[in-house]
């Protein structure tokens, strides 16, 4: 069953708490990223966790293996359901991140590797020297993530079907870049609708502004859930 996680991208702790409380019972979890974490730190994560929704901590860790392992260990007491590292960090870094979760007794955290950001397209990648394009780059990084022991990857909905076919049902696919037909794409380039992403094999849909920017966020989330159910 495809889950919906709402991306709460704000440094305002009180606003985030209100939104999380409003969304309780309408989404399956919330995603908190760098903007929130830098402003509020672990204490902010703990405050949001009290709202009862699982936490996807999207920090995209990318450093030498020892540093990433230390960061993962430091985050484990917060109990995130999902935690991101960069899939391009190298095999040793990925393995170190996975081993660090094993050090936390009873950890249920899934470590997933960020492949190619959904704000990038083939032209952007070409300018950075990655001439193979998004699809091939995602596939290569996904293989690295799997070989490094990660639970899955973050990829755009455009690559989700191919990744599901390549890596099977046990490989966890977190898919941002989700825009309902009635919502603006914003700065996202490789996007699809929630139903299309779910059909492609996404385990988790990450949806931000179509929910958080709505006049009534809970109603927007319910509308998206109804689209998936249909």
Could you give the residue numbers annotated as active site?
60
Cα distances from 147 to residues 20, 71, 91, 179, 193, in angstroms, run: 35, 21, 8, 31, 30
pLDDT value of position 186: 54
CATH code of 58's domain: 3.20.20.70
Q: Quick: pLDDT tens for 117-147.
A: 878 778 888 888 877 888 899 999 999 999 9
Which pTM value belongs to this model?
A: 0.91
Q: Is 156 left (phi over 0), alpha (psi -120 to 50) or beta?
A: beta
Biggest alpha carbon–alpha carbon distance for the chain: 46
Q: How many other CB atoms sit within 10 Å of the CB of residue 181?
A: 10
pLDDT tens digit string along 29-77? 999 999 999 999 999 999 999 999 999 999 999 999 999 999 999 999 9
Mean of the per-residue pLDDT values of the chain: 91
The domain total for the chain is 1
Residue pair 140/187 in contact (Cβ under 8 Å)? The answer is no
CB 220 within 8 A of CB 210: yes
Helix axes 34-49, 13-23, angle to 10 degrees: 60
φ, ψ for residue 82, nearest 5 deg? -135, 140
Q: What is the torsion angle, in degrees rounded to the nearest 10, for the CA atoms of residue 94, residue 98, residue 104 and residue 107? A: 120
Domain containing 64 equals 3-229
- Say how far apart CA 97 and CA 111 lie, in whole Å: 8
Q: Do strands 204-207 and 152-154 pair parallel, antiparallel, or not at all (unpaired)?
A: unpaired
């Amino acid at each position: 069953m495809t889950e919906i996680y709402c991306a709460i991208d704000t440094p305002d702790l009180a606003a985030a708490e209100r939104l999380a409380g409003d969304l309780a019972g309408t989404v399956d979890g919330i995603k908190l990223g760098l903007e929130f974490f830098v402003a509020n730190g672990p204490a902010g994560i703990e405050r949001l966790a009290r709202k009862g929704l699982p936490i996807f901590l999207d920090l995209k860790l990318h450093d030498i293996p020892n540093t990433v392992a230390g960061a993962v260990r430091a985050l484990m007491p917060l109990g995130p359901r999902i935690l991101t590292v960069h899939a391009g960090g190298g095999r040793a870094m990925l393995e170190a991140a996975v081993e660090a979760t094993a050090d936390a007794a009873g950890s249920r955290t899934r470590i997933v590797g960020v492949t190619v950001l959904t704000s990038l397209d083939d032209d952007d990648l070409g300018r950075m020297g990655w001439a193979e394009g998004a699809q091939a780059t995602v596939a290569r990084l996904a293989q690295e993530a799997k070989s490094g022991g990660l639970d899955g990857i973050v990829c755009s909905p455009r690559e989700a079907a191919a990744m599901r076919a390549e890596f099977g049902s046990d490989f966890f696919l977190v898919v941002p870049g989700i825009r309902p037909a009635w919502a603006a794409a914003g700065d996202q380039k490789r996007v699809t609708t929630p139903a299309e992403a779910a059909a492609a094999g996404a385990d988790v849909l990450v949806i931000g502004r179509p929910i958080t920017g709505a006049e009534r966020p809970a109603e927007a989330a319910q509308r998206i859930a109804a689209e998936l159910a249909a």
